[in-house]
Amino acid sequence: MAKDKSTKKKAPKGGKDGGKAVSKAAGGKGVKSGLYTAADLADLPDDDLLEAVQRQTFRFFWEGAEPVSGMARDRTTRTADTPGDLVTTGGTGFGIMSMIVAMERGWISREEGLARLVRIIDIIEPTTCFHGAYSHFMHGETGKVWPFSRKDDGGDLVETAFLFQGLLCARQYFDADTPAERRLRERITGLWGEIEWNWYTQGRHSLYWHWSPNNGFVLDHDIHGWNECLIVYLMAVSAPRYPIDPAAYHRGFVQARDYGAPRSYYGIELPIGPDRGGPLFWAHYSFLGLDPRGLKDAYADYWRQNVAHTLINYQHCVINPHGHAGYGPDCWGLTASDDPAGYDAHMPSNDNGVISPTAALSSFPYAPREAMAALRHFLRKYGDKVWGRFGFVDAFCEGKDWFADTFLSIDQGPIVVMIENYRTGLIWDLFMKIPEIQAGLRKLGFESPHLK
């Protein structure tokens, strides 16, 4: 069952040995060097298995990064990097948090991580921003906008929030009194202070997702819940120079028609959200840094929310009302991912037989027993059909004998980070210590053990 606390021991801090050290939990030659196959992993002890899965998944952000900027590619394949220099803003934020895990566990050195962060900032600092916000996609070689769609060619506030969730964790982590680390902190603080969150309200009581100098607010996509965007409102109210009025959270995000009220599914009460909880990435993206343990406000207990959401998703796959091949207690997890028809937001109310490994594996904090069963089952039953050079492929559908050839940044990153939060609470502890974030949580009326 899920448990309301981190377990296991802390990893050694800092990776100060030039990347050669391996934490005591690592074990096995595949963790120290080279790549694991599914057969190598299947019978490892739990802690060694988690370490190996995290480390091989991290390779997506280290070896698979766009080579000029060091930023995260949106996606790549089993056999070759995706051509071109397209990088993703939010996925880079997830990758930065993964790099912190890698430094802490000694997979890369602190100096290597710092150098990579500097390369990333060297690209994003001078590039065009849109009232401080960044585009969803960029050209990694230049930082120029890569339009997400014809009218989405400007600022993407949600992707910007995901990026800065990672950058602020890095600012907190690189705390040494050295010229290089001081300069990194100063640069992150400078970029953080330039985001005009309040401008993205259009003077109304809601944040708006997109703005473009060519198209303005024509997409008219207000950010309302319940979904992955709690972190956007928290970042916006916490901002040092251009914060939003807390009323935007209370009257915009929370008061949306689909925010929902407590209902029960499969005997599990879901505090908020749509029918049967939605895709599982909603329990992951905002909570890579934001610690849900003991986190409450006037509307929900967010630990309870995320555990319920996860277990409803799990029970749906166990009961398998549509009779999809492969589903069961050891094979579960519905979220947005690639599928045979392209890409879709899979969830109990939109279930076409596609299982996404990130859904279960990023849920380790909420349902560790169920997640571990899924992890071992994926490896033992499907083997290298679902496992490759950057960890688990994005998705599979046993009924159609379809296995993705792709790895996606926004799905690989949560695997590394949320498993680490389950093991040590590392990223949660860093993010929740950020002074601006603590002030923002208080402004919104949150309770948390981190708020002393």
User: How far does the chain reach from its first CA to its final CA, in angstroms?
Assistant: 29
Does the pLDDT value for residue 1 go beyond 50? no
Least confident of 27-41, 257-271, 273-287: 27-41
Q: How confident is the model over 408-447, as pLDDT tens digits? A: 999 999 999 999 999 999 999 999 999 999 999 999 999 9
With tokens 């595949």, the residue in question is 30
| Residue 347, Cβ density class (10 Å: 0-12 exposed, 13-18 middle, ≥19 buried) | buried
Place 81 in a pLDDT band, splitting at 50, 70 and 90.
confident
- Given a cut of 60, whether residue 276 has pLDDT beyond it is yes
**Domain boundaries 44-443, corresponding CATH code:** 1.50.10.140
Instruction: Please give the structure tokens belonging to residue 67.
Output: 């080579």
Least confident of 17-21, 225-229, 433-437: 17-21
Q: Quote the tokens at residue 32.
A: 């120290």
What is the pLDDT confidence band of residue 253, given thresholds at 50, 70 and 90? very high
Q: Is the pLDDT of residue 274 over 70?
A: yes
Does the pTM of the predicted model rise above 0.75?
Answer: yes
pLDDT at 224 over 70: yes
- What pLDDT is recorded for position 33? 53
Give me the pLDDT at residue 20, please. Answer: 30
Whether cis (ω within 30° of 0) applies to the bond prior to 226 is yes
> Measured at the alpha carbon of residue 300, what is the angle toward residues 299 and 302, in degrees to the nearest 5?
145
Q: What percent of the chain has pLDDT over 90?
A: 89
Q: For 328-374, how does the pLDDT look when each residue is reduced to its tens digit (9 = 90+)?
A: 999 999 999 999 999 999 999 999 999 999 999 999 999 999 999 99
pLDDT at 258: 76
Phi (first) and psi of residue 374, to 5 degrees: -65, -45
Region 235-255: mean pLDDT is 96
CB-based contact 315:268 (threshold 8 Å) = yes
pLDDT at 23: 34
Q: Flag whether pLDDT at 402 surpasses 70.
A: yes
Query: What's the full length of the chain, in residues?
Result: 452
Domain boundaries of the chain, sorted by first residue: 44-443
Question: Across the chain, what does the average pLDDT equal?
Answer: 92
The pLDDT tens digits of the residues spanning 290-323 come to 999 999 999 999 999 999 999 999 999 999 999 9
